[in-house]
Chain A
Amino acid sequence: MNLAHYKPCVCNLCGTGCGQFLNTDGQRVYGVAPLITHPVSKGKLCIRGWHANELLNTHERITTPLIREHGELRPASYDEAIAKVMSTLQTFKGEAGEIGVLASARSSNEDGYTLARLSREVLKTQLRGIGAEAGHRKSMDSLRHAFGYPGAHGSLTAIDHADYILVVGTDITRQNPIIGGNIHAAQRRGARVVTLSSSRTQIAKLSTKHFQEKPGTLGLLVNALGKSLMAIRTVNHDRRANIDKLPGYSEYAASLRSISSVALERASGIRYEEIEEEAKYLEHAKSVVILFSSGISGLDRPTIDAITNLALLTDRMDHPHSAVIPVAGISNLQGSFDMGMSGELGNSVFKALATPDSAIKALLVIDHDDGIIRDKARIAALDFVVYACAYKNAFMELADVVFPLPAYNETDGTYTAADKRVQITRQNVDNKRGILPGWNLWQRLAAAVGHHWGYQDAAHVFKDVAKHTPGYADLSHELLGKGFGQHWNPKGFASSRQRQFNAINIEYWEAPTSPQFPFALMIGKAQHYWHQNNLMRKTIVPRREYDQTLWLYPQGYIEISPDDATRLKVKDKWLVNVRSSIGTSMKIAVKISPDVQNGTAYIPYFIKNMISDFLLPYENAYAAGEESVIPIQIQE
């Protein structure tokens, strides 16, 4: 018998996909409980997961369709809003690039799949994209080349058994805390956990070994590890790896050989001998897990290629406890990608919005959670903007028509976590306001112009997902409802047995700093919340936590090392002038932190709202992700 109040589901607040119970009477959600037998989260949740009830209780919901009239949004019926949207969109030519669709990385697979159908079959547009996909596409391309399919290799549960775990870049304890917790547990049971990160993050503190490289040299460091691993291989013949037969090996090996230890040390600040020591552990490990952050501020392609190559080079990737996982910060980034909502390279909706003379005239946007709306002026100038989201936010101001969406527990849906685990959440509260789930809204939009899909419910949509999405063929709602989901099957891709090395270039990255602009400024993802700000701002306790640092540093802050603070003669909370090499400047408080290395400075991502003038010209550097660096000077 099902319990009166506790309903199992999947946390929707990051790509880990933790098991969660909601405590609900079917009307409202009163609390959360962790799900002990969940294979990944094992009874643990992070601050976001524990406060999902607060988000689900917010009054800042969009409750009805809205149409803009005389500058104001007014409530409308579904019939009216749908008719308005489709009659207007029909006046634009999708084929000519006049309509863009910006999907959400939080939408269910059912919603993503039907939105992709709407875009292709009805709106006939190629201009697609997923918020936060930029970095993920690079991860997918690199993995697809290396392993033959665009998705994680292996499972997050491999962390619990692997001998060797390498965390590249990200502070996973903040972005995906429960994965961070599992890594910490692995370290305690004796796995060797190694973090490569330019600042001393919490995961770095919990690791067996932390390489604190200079900014911009992560990929180089990974390649150096490859070089020393290869060197041991040549000496140690008891293990005959045949990776040297894989396509791309000789070019890769030649590039690795070209790494100079002197230049490496100068660029990264890490001695090659230290890396050689590390490679011995890697050589002895029977199973290896590599994790890196993927998504809005993920790594650049060369760094990801260095990672997938190193993974292949270990020759341990067929071990059941090995994995290479692009860790997504948003719940269904992987699924949205699988459903085909990612834009074509060089022809995405982002590109169209950023290109001043592109043809784009109309835009359909789902769930814009980011505090920063890119290309806002362009969007405001479009002829027609449609927005759909469960929660109110700033994007509504740009919209001509707004649709409500259900919250994740108000409808059935499947979500694909960072490691390809597809899981189902069932509706567990009444949908009192009769809000159409995304798939049904897209179906109604299609029907309004004569495309009849005939989906009865989300399970029905999923049958089509399974039929048309590589890897999903064996899955169904019924099956997913039985356990804790299932990974989609790489064998759905014909090339899934292929292994090949990505081409790499050895570059000794020179920091763009100069005597005049001696600090390398990085934009980090501080705090628990990262880009999910707009969701977390609708909670109570997490929002309070998020504000803590802002209370202490109301003008925002820039983190520098204690040595640099002494040199600059500044104290914590003092205001300094920060000037960038292209002439923008801001006044901001100093936060002294022993976790930052000399010559570097951090500004947390979420403070961007307050300092956007400073960062705006760097929009591209900023989109380039974790490794982008801005040269600055700091003055009292």
Chain B
Amino acid sequence: MSMYLLSAHDISALVTELQASYDVYGPQVEPQTKQVFFDQLASAEALDLAAPIPSMPVKEILFPQMERILKYKYDAQSQSVELSKQYFERPKVLFGLRPCDLSGILVLDRFFLGQEFVDDVYLTHRRQCLLISNTCLHPFPQCFCVCTHSGPDADEGFDLDLTQLKDGILVRVGSEKGQALADAHQWSVASAAHAAEFKAVVERSIDLFPELATDNKAWVAKVMNRITTGFVKPETWEYIGDQCFECGACSFVCPTCSCFNIEDSATACGECERLRMRDSCSFEGYARMAGDHNPRQPVEDRRNKRFFCKLSYPQSKKYLRPGCVGCGRCQWVCPGDIGLPNVVQYIRREITGGQN
């Protein structure tokens, strides 16, 4: 893997240059609320690579909360239907992805593109994407990517990967596209010392994770085993279910949740648009089948569906990694207390009989 060392100025120049032919997105701080979003950059100055993990996952760009995918019009006279597609391809750069969000994209890729059916809407958004990841020098308060093999550094899937070192920003190349970009510039090649510093930076970042997170690493595996084999006690699920307010937030902020709903909505006489919107297995209506059978009507059954999806072997086989990438977002948006890390705790408590 080739490695280069860039200055902050080089990075800025790169953003500006890319903006000529791409929509460039990156982490930015919203001025009034100081909340971080991964949004389209108006200029290179807006990019803040040191900003904490964005509050919403980067799937906002590839799989938005709601989008119009189709319009159709029925002409009664000629008895014909006119269809028009409502999603369009735009080359994009996702500049400064946190490793967990990068892993999230890889999971979505496997879900939307890697199975028999290729989702054309997602593919259109995803096709011309340049992925530039950014190593986390220290964890943010809710992070536990060390338990789910998705951080604090990226190890696959990026075109370029950035790490802030003392003398500048280390750029690791991860793909041909990334290499082509490097070749087109006169970036200075990084030394062996820089490579060593990179390792040390990542080690230090791992050390900075709270004990609970690192400690949970083994527990995530144990909990996965429990969930897969169905050994979690019904009382534990009930305890979890009682705390679910059925808001759907955990799915909306999860970088790997891919469920959606489709609705055709009439816009005018004979005209209709097809909307697709994110959905969540926490909702009662999510699992209802024709004929009114709902295999997951009680809320606790719906909740264990989520944790089965995030932490079980069959799901991991599908995604080639755990369904959870350790971003911790579901913890901060949950009005109950059942973000994934906590659920791991609850099941862990059940295993140990109360001692942590």
Show the binding face of A for B, using Cβ within 8 Å: 1-6, 8, 19, 21, 23, 30-37, 43-47, 49-50, 53-54, 57, 59, 173, 177-178, 180-182, 184-185, 188, 202, 205-206, 481-482, 528, 540-541, 544-545, 547-548, 551-552
Contact = CB atoms under 8 A, between A and B. Distances in A.
Contacts of B295: none
Contact of B247 (A177, A544, A547, A551): A177
B66 A551 contact: no
B266 A59 contact: yes
Contacts of A49: 247
A35 B33 contact: yes
B7 interface: no
A184 B247 CA distance: 15
Contacts of B216: none
A4 B35 CA distance: 14
B82 interface: no
Given A545-B284, A551-B288, A44 B335 contact: yes
Nearest to A181: B335
B21 interface: no
B261 A44 contact: no
B65 interface: yes
Given A31-B66, A32-B65, A184-B335, A6 B266 contact: no
Nearest to B40: A4
B124 to A, nearest CB: 16
Interface string B286-320: 00100010100000000000000000000000000
A54 B242 CA distance: 27
B185 interface: no
B55 A180 contact: no
A4 B31 CA distance: 12
A541 B30 contact: no
Contacts of B277: 54, 540-541
Given A33-B37, A178-B335, A1 B31 contact: yes
A177 B245 CA distance: 7
Given A46-B247, A540-B265, A541-B277, 14 more contacts: A4-B41, A30-B66, A30-B67, A34-B55, A35-B35, A44-B249, A50-B248, A53-B66, A180-B335, A184-B243, A185-B337, A545-B283, A545-B285, A548-B284
Given A30-B66, A44-B333, A59-B265, A2 B34 contact: no
Contacts of A544: 261, 283, 285
Contacts of A31: 60, 64-66
Contacts of B31: 1-2
A482 B33 CA distance: 9
A34 B28 CA distance: 16
B200 interface: no
Q: 8 smallest A-B Cβ distances: which pairs?
A: A181-B335, A31-B65, A544-B285, A4-B40, A548-B284, A44-B335, A3-B39, A540-B263
Given A37-B34, A50-B252, A184-B336, A206 B243 contact: yes
A37 B34 CA distance: 8
B332 interface: yes
Contacts of B67: 30
Nearest to A7: B30
Given A541-B277, A545-B283, A528 B246 contact: yes
B76 to A, nearest CB: 20
Contacts of B285: 541, 544-545, 547-548
A36 B66 contact: no
A197 to B, nearest CB: 15
A50 B55 CA distance: 14
Contacts of A202: 242, 245
B335 A177 contact: yes
A548 B335 CA distance: 22
A247 B288 CA distance: 58
A246 B306 CA distance: 55
Interface string B235-249: 000000011011111
B66 A54 contact: yes
A50 B249 contact: yes
A552 B334 CA distance: 28
19 contacts: A1-B43, A2-B31, A6-B39, A21-B37, A30-B65, A30-B66, A34-B249, A44-B247, A45-B333, A47-B246, A50-B249, A180-B245, A181-B335, A181-B336, A184-B335, A206-B243, A540-B275, A544-B283, A545-B246
Contact of A206 (B64, B242, B249): B242
B279 interface: yes
B56 interface: yes
Contact of B37 (A3, A19, A44, A177): A3
Contacts of A551: 288, 292
Contact of A540 (B243, B261, B337): B261
A205 B248 contact: no
Nearest to A185: B337
A481 B261 CA distance: 36
Given A1-B46, A548-B288, A188 B64 contact: no
B35 A21 contact: yes
Contacts of A188: 337
B355 interface: no
Contacts of B78: none
Contacts of B245: 46-47, 173, 177, 180-181, 202
Contacts of B246: 47, 528, 545
A77 B34 CA distance: 43
B28 A3 contact: yes
B42 interface: yes
Contacts of B45: 1
A541 B261 contact: yes
A583 B100 CA distance: 64
B32 interface: yes
B265 A47 contact: no
Contacts of B248: 47, 50, 541
A45 B336 CA distance: 11
Given A34-B249, A53-B65, A6 B30 contact: yes
A49 B248 CA distance: 11
Interface string B43-69: 101100000000110001000111100
Nearest to A34: B333
B2 interface: no
Nearest to B35: A36
A8 B33 contact: yes
Contacts of B128: none
Contacts of A185: 337
Contacts of B252: 50
B64 A3 contact: no
Contacts of A482: 32
B267 interface: yes
B247 A50 contact: yes
A5 B39 contact: yes
Contact of B334 (A1, A36, A44): A44
Contacts of A30: 64-67
Contacts of A57: 66, 275
Contacts of A47: 245-248, 283
A188 to B, nearest CB: 6
Given A50-B247, A184-B337, A6 B284 contact: no
A331 to B, nearest CB: 18
B70 to A, nearest CB: 15
Contact of A552 (B41, B266, B292, B336): B292
A523 to B, nearest CB: 22
Contacts of B65: 23, 30-32, 53
A35 B56 CA distance: 11
Nearest to B29: A3
Given A173-B245, A528-B246, A8 B60 contact: no
Contacts of B66: 30-31, 53-54, 57
Contacts of A548: 284-285, 288, 294
A619 B245 CA distance: 31
A206 B337 CA distance: 11
A45 B37 CA distance: 17
Contacts of B265: 59, 540
